[in-house]
């Protein structure tokens, strides 16, 4: 499985983005924060609710310097057809990566081999392409984009404030912790 503090895998895939087909590579995503939002398949049930939820938070994420890449083993052609036919998916302005060979999905180790589909996996990579957040959900459990925004802010804070850490459920502006001998046993 793709692990915390490891580099994202190298890849080159086709994407549907803002009405166009584009090539996206691992080199293209470096230099900014990136969310990879793997989902099982287009034209399904939980998936459009998650992708629409992420679309609602996309502008805020962009303001934080984050690009979003949804990924399934469907083609970029299927992504366009879904975007054109679904009210929920029609709201998406972020990249929809096609991975019909499963190379990217396997690179993040979220492939369900017997089905040829991606697990419900979310990864946050920093501007160096290093994974800072990784989580996998059961296929029937939808994710929360709002909580992902919170995790982005926490990861950015920790990167910018060496020696500080964010406690559970930390929200921007709240107190952080500075681990030290004096803090041991006092929390």
Give catalytic status of residue 166 as yes or no: no
Nearest to 74 by CA among 90, 97, 98: 98
Active-site option among 13, 15, 37, 47: 47
As annotated, the active-site residues are 47
């Amino acid at each position: 499985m793709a692990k915390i503090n490891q580099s994202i895998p190298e890849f080159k895939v086709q994407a549907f983005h803002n009405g166009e087909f584009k090539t996206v590579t691992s080199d293209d995503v470096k230099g900014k924060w990136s969310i990879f939002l793997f989902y099982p398949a287009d034209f399904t049930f939980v998936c459009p609710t998650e992708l629409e939820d992420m679309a609602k938070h996309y502008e805020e994420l962009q303001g934080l310097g984050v690009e979003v890449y949804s990924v399934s083993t469907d083609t970029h052609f299927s992504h366009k057809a879904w975007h054109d036919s679904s009210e929920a998916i029609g709201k998406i302005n972020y990249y929809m990566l096609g991975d019909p060979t499963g190379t990217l999905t396997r690179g993040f180790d979220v492939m369900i081999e017997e089905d040829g589909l991606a697990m419900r996996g979310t990864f946050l990579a920093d501007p160096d392409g290093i994974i800072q957040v990784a989580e996998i959900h059961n296929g029937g459990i939808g994710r929360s984009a709002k909580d992902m925004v919170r995790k982005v802010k926490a990861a950015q804070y920790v990167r910018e404030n060496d020696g500080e850490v964010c406690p559970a459920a930390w929200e921007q502006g709240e107190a952080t912790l500075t681990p030290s001998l004096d803090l041991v046993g006092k929390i």
